[in-house]
Structure 1
Amino acid sequence: MQQLNSSHHLQLESLTRLISLPDETLEQQARDRIDQLTKPPGSLGLLEEMAIRLAGITGEQTPDMSKKAIVVCCGDHGVVEEGVTAYPSEVTEKMMANFAAGGAAINVIARQTKADVYVLDVGSRARTVPDGVIDCKVRPGTDNMASGPAMSRDEAVQAVMTGVEMARRLKQEGVRVIGVGEMGIGNTTPATAIAAVITGSPVDQLTGRGAGVDDAGMLRKIRVIEQAIRVNQPDPQDPVDVLAKVGGLEIAAMAGVMLGGALERMPVVIDGLISTSAAMIAVGLSERVKPYLFASHLSEEPAHRILLEKLGLTPLIHARMRLGEGTGAALLFPMMEAAVALMREMATFADLGLEGP
């Protein structure tokens, strides 16, 4: 990362150095406990791995996962004017109001999984932020990345810090696990651009239909992403440069939530393509974020699988979802709670008077 004088930049750099790795001793204790449970070794698959990782992250062998939150970061995108999406930017504002009123898909799923939903306006074009939405707007939407940088470096870092501060606030409020979602018409375009820059994969192999563009729209979207990368020449080794040139404000904020979660030793559940592109940025800022991330599901967007493979994360849910909002992340919460409950409540071989496997 380039050295800049901004207080936000200095603060971000100092925070990334404070992130500690999960506790390996607790992980080993959890592994030993799981190996003594009344089941064939490894028979609970990824649930076992999840329980072990949660112990190391939280520093507790059977962590309390009862207080859960979904953070929905919202922002608009100047690239929408290139015709890369089937919906107008005004829908972002309408959906923020819908989140606040409890009527969106994420609200319904969060109620089922007993999670609270926090909605952040980091960069929408809404002149008035709806009641119930947290106003932390850095600027009203990005510029058109097809003709120049989406935003400045300072704005990108400010949006990241907004997410960091939100995660730290939730930790203070007793939240134990965070799911990260988003809303921003057109945001599969910057997310795919980020994926192309960081992975080096061809744009046409990464690009999906987003909210439902037709064949002509797909070709236009591919051309626009290629043009944005060509015009801006983002440096794949500099995550802030990538964010500023071809990213989005809500993507930056989600990356910040992930950084903040790692800093506070909280597990963070990522959702689909857009939040996973944010995870790539967060891990680019600090490799130590990676052990704190959990992949919830595999999106229908083609870039999602490639990004998850790059991160080394395995999604547990394959439901052909592509909505966003944090819906997939919220669905993972019951599985996380089940993993911890198995560790806490299952009998051991010793309890039955048997030798272990």
Structure 2
Amino acid sequence: MSVDGWNTLLVLGGIRSGKSEFAESLVADAPTVRYVATAPEGDPEDTEWATRLAAHRARRPGSWTSEETAADPRRLADVIAGAEPHETVLVDDLGGWVTVLLDPAHQPADDTATIAELAAAVRASAARLVLVSPEVGLSLVPTTPLGRAFTDALGATNRAVADACDAVVLVVAGQPTWLKPAGAPPVPSRAGRPPSSALAAASPALDGGAREPADETLVTPEPLPEVLTPAVSPAPAPAAPAEGTAWAAPTMALPMVATGLVIQPGMELPMPDDYAGPQAVDRLTTLDIAGAGLGVLERVVGFAAATQGTPTPAPWASVRVLLLHGDHAGGASAGAEPGESARRARQARAGRGALARLAAESGASLQVLEAPTSAAMEDGPALTADQVESALRYGWRLAEQAADAGVQLLVLAACGAGTEAAAAAVLAATAGAEPPAVLGRVVTAHGEIDDAAWMVRCAAVRDALHRTRRSAREAKDVLAELGGGDVAVATGVLLGATARRIPVLLDGPVGVAAGMVSRDLAGQARHWCLLPDHGGQPAVRLAADVLGLTPLVDLRLDLGEGATALATLPLLRSVLSLAATLPVHPSLGGGEDDEEFAEPEPAGPGPATTEPEFAEPEPAGPGPATAAPEFGEPEPAGPGAGPDEPVSPGRRGD
């Protein structure tokens, strides 16, 4: 990826939207540009089309070289794949390429395979690549079969190429709107003047995002906590992490958070692959497995395939646990021992406790972070509006940091006092649940049931819901009034992870409460979540049902949030490893694995044989060799004649 955040870019736009001029402006500073023209020449009598082509050619600088792929649409993938790292390639446009692809002269042809080849070439491109394509999906469905075939093929092409590119921008009325996060390059003006303030201040934003005014002072984001790597056998006093392990550089999408993106309802975030998941599950039926299959764990394979975008997903190698520590004041924390949650957080930082030990066994990194302390929900808002915004951005940045570090899976956990009551309040506000039905029993540190504390928590949630009965039920309102700091940070993590296509294992009430809130901000977030176990908690059961998350196992472990997910992680990895490596059954065309067994080497010199050899005993003295075994008579117990000597009459009776 280039220093300005992207190496491959797809520029979309309607007719006369300025998409081609915008794409040309992005590569105007390149020393040399290979311009790939895909459109056919057209009817010689169509002067209007010829005029358009001439206008395109006239805009190109003399240092650019041009190539034509209209004669063979498959050649475009070869041109892109063969481009060198120092080259800049501009393809204009994919609409003309699809037109040629569907031309009867090139039929019959496997259009789907050709589009897949193009996407693979874009994904593997070493050159700086800009592709232009018309966006026709916003219009009505064409009334002719040929028109429908064109829009369907172009839509499939745009989706495949957009997924393969680092960044995607939509040009509307000459104004670029960045759809896929990446570092936005500066946009030079056509007259050579500095870019306008609107474009200069623009950074790639997700749909639905708004920006603060350019002259508003931006707040410097606070530093993120260090990332810990627990050892398998942690020492009592672990050494401080080496300098430089903490995140210090801006991530690819951090500028859009730091420069004023408003996280608000209706954001369009990525969705998992619609086709890879079902294909991976169907593929399981062909594997050489002795039993009936993977059972309910087939969902793990489908989930991993959809989030990784491949029918053969790989086990998650890089995993990070995010442990949120944030207490709730008031009746929500009734029955919690004072300072216990802080002790748990310190324990995790020191590499001790169940969570840290399981993280060490799984090879997962651990990040312990402090969420804002939440006020008593029954008395007033748990957080202010500014605290909610800050917590959402903070969680987003945590996901950004993980993505830039190559993390493939996040585990969301919490250890604050009162988190169960806060999650119950969120569920009551968003799903209409009754607090007593979703609030689990209170268990003391000695393993005793504290019903009095449970009633205090129920009363706190009831009073909070009564206080906010006339308040709006929007996502941020729920976080401010009821959810508190840990749920707000967890919501930001889910949104940031979704934006960067990182799956998340939810474990405990805080994670599922964040999933409920994130539905109103970006409905795509829940599709990136996986629930290993409900842990016997009623709040998790209800939220899982609403979110469409079926727990994979029913272990009923109660080791603290995050520990159950890590306990099931080896099982999930094993399932993915089997799905990725097992061959196809021989009856379905798979090869038979013939095992060869080598014969053991003889112990010493001698002829090789497949049957065991029994050595005859050596004769006691000189004599002829015989094939029959010789058995010697036992020696007499005392003095007397040997076996070959005559026996005297006086000894015959012995």
For the superposition of Structure 1 and Structure 2, which TM-score range results when normalised by the shorter chain?
Answer: 0.7 to 0.9
Partner of 1:158: 390
Please give the alpha-carbon distance, in whole angstroms, between the structure 2 residues aligned to 1:251 and 1:186: 11
Partner of 2:609: none
Contact between 1:276 and 1:308, CA under 8 Å: does it hold in 2? yes
Structure 1: gaps of 5 or more residues:
124-140
SS of the aligned residue for 1:120 comes to strand
Contact between 1:72 and 1:181, CA under 8 Å: does it hold in 2? yes
Deviation at 1:351, TM superposition (A): 7.6
Alignment of 1:167-178 (within 5 A): 167-178=399-410
Deviation at 1:25, TM superposition (A): 2.8
Please give the alpha-carbon distance, in whole angstroms, between the structure 1 residues aligned to 2:333 and 2:505: 31
Please give the alpha-carbon distance, in whole angstroms, between the structure 2 residues aligned to 1:96 and 1:84: 19
Deviations 1:257-278 (A, max 9, x none): 1111111111100001222112
1:229 aligns with 2:229: no
Partner of 1:79: 330
Q: Which moved more, 1:212-221 or 1:167-176?
A: 212-221
Contact between 1:22 and 1:291, CA under 8 Å: does it hold in 2? yes
RMSD: 2.8
One-letter code aligned to 1:148: G
Please give the alpha-carbon distance, in whole angstroms, between the structure 2 residues aligned to 1:323 and 1:249: 23
Q: 1:25 to 1:4 in 2, by over 3 A?
A: closer
Please give the alpha-carbon distance, in whole angstroms, between the structure 2 residues aligned to 1:27 and 1:102: 36
1:199 aligns with 2:431: yes
Please give the alpha-carbon distance, in whole angstroms, between the structure 2 residues aligned to 1:71 and 1:234: 34
One-letter code aligned to 2:504: V
One-letter code aligned to 2:497: G
Partner of 2:297: 47
Q: 1:211 to 1:253 in 2, by over 3 A?
A: farther
Partner of 1:100: 349
Please give the alpha-carbon distance, in whole angstroms, between the structure 2 residues aligned to 1:321 and 1:190: 21
Contact between 1:15 and 1:263, CA under 8 Å: does it hold in 2? no
Contact between 1:74 and 1:122, CA under 8 Å: does it hold in 2? yes
One-letter code aligned to 1:290: R
In terms of fraction of residues, the more helix-rich structure is: 1
Q: Which moved more, 1:169-178 or 1:152-161?
A: 152-161
Please give the alpha-carbon distance, in whole angstroms, between the structure 2 residues aligned to 1:222 and 1:24: 41
Partner of 1:19: 269
Partner of 1:183: 415
Q: 1:83 to 1:49 in 2, by over 3 A?
A: closer
Q: 1:51 to 1:249 in 2, by over 3 A?
A: same
Percent of paired sites with the same residue: 25
Deviations 1:201-258 (A, max 9, x none): 2112122124436122222211111001111237574111111101121111112111
1:326 to 562, 566, 569: 562
- Tell which has more relative contact order, 1 or 2 (C-alpha 8 A, sep 6+): 1
Please give the alpha-carbon distance, in whole angstroms, between the structure 2 residues aligned to 1:252 and 1:177: 20
Contact between 2:503 and 2:530, CA under 8 Å: does it hold in 1? yes
Alignment of 1:133-282 (within 5 A): 141-212=373-444, 214-233=450-469, 237-282=473-518
Contact between 1:187 and 1:274, CA under 8 Å: does it hold in 2? yes
SS of the aligned residue for 2:322 comes to strand
Deviation at 1:328, TM superposition (A): 1.5
Please give the alpha-carbon distance, in whole angstroms, between the structure 1 residues aligned to 2:418 and 2:495: 24
Q: 1:59 to 1:143 in 2, by over 3 A?
A: same
Deviation at 1:41, TM superposition (A): 9.7
Contact between 1:73 and 1:250, CA under 8 Å: does it hold in 2? yes
Q: 1:110 to 1:236 in 2, by over 3 A?
A: farther
SS of the aligned residue for 2:371 comes to strand
Please give the alpha-carbon distance, in whole angstroms, between the structure 1 residues aligned to 2:351 and 2:504: 22
Deviation at 1:15, TM superposition (A): 9.9
Contact between 2:315 and 2:577, CA under 8 Å: does it hold in 1? no
Q: 1:303 to 1:4 in 2, by over 3 A?
A: farther
Q: 1:103 to 1:257 in 2, by over 3 A?
A: same
Partner of 1:127: none
1:283 aligns with 2:519: yes
Q: Which moved more, 1:313-322 or 1:92-101?
A: 313-322
Q: 1:245 to 1:32 in 2, by over 3 A?
A: same
1:293 aligns with 2:529: yes
Please give the alpha-carbon distance, in whole angstroms, between the structure 2 residues aligned to 1:280 and 1:40: 40
Deviation at 1:346, TM superposition (A): 1.0
Please give the alpha-carbon distance, in whole angstroms, between the structure 1 residues aligned to 2:547 and 2:264: 23
| TM, length-normalised to structure 2 | 0.48
Alignment of 1:111-150 (within 5 A): 111-123=360-372, 141-150=373-382
Q: 1:259 to 1:43 in 2, by over 3 A?
A: same
Contact between 1:62 and 1:340, CA under 8 Å: does it hold in 2? yes
Q: 1:261 to 1:83 in 2, by over 3 A?
A: closer
Q: 1:210 to 1:167 in 2, by over 3 A?
A: farther
For the pair shown, the structure with the greater C-alpha radius of gyration is 2
SS of the aligned residue for 1:181 comes to strand
One-letter code aligned to 1:73: L
Contact between 2:333 and 2:421, CA under 8 Å: does it hold in 1? no
| TM, length-normalised to structure 1 | 0.85
Deviation at 1:99, TM superposition (A): 1.0
Deviation at 1:353, TM superposition (A): 4.4
Please give the alpha-carbon distance, in whole angstroms, between the structure 2 residues aligned to 1:182 and 1:29: 35
One-letter code aligned to 1:171: A
Partner of 1:132: none
SS of the aligned residue for 2:261 comes to helix
Q: 1:242 to 1:30 in 2, by over 3 A?
A: same
Deviations 1:310-346 (A, max 9, x none): 1111112322234433112212322331222122111
Please give the alpha-carbon distance, in whole angstroms, between the structure 2 residues aligned to 1:45 and 1:271: 22
Q: 1:84 to 1:149 in 2, by over 3 A?
A: same
Please give the alpha-carbon distance, in whole angstroms, between the structure 2 residues aligned to 1:195 and 1:322: 21
Please give the alpha-carbon distance, in whole angstroms, between the structure 1 residues aligned to 2:303 and 2:586: 24
SS of the aligned residue for 2:524 comes to helix
Please give the alpha-carbon distance, in whole angstroms, between the structure 2 residues aligned to 1:103 and 1:16: 41
Contact between 1:210 and 1:301, CA under 8 Å: does it hold in 2? no
1:30 aligns with 2:280: yes
Please give the alpha-carbon distance, in whole angstroms, between the structure 2 residues aligned to 1:169 and 1:15: 23
Deviation at 1:303, TM superposition (A): 1.8
Please give the alpha-carbon distance, in whole angstroms, between the structure 1 residues aligned to 2:399 and 2:470: 28
Partner of 1:131: none
SS of the aligned residue for 1:165 comes to helix
Partner of 2:320: 69
One-letter code aligned to 2:360: R
Q: Which moved more, 1:345-354 or 1:302-311?
A: 345-354
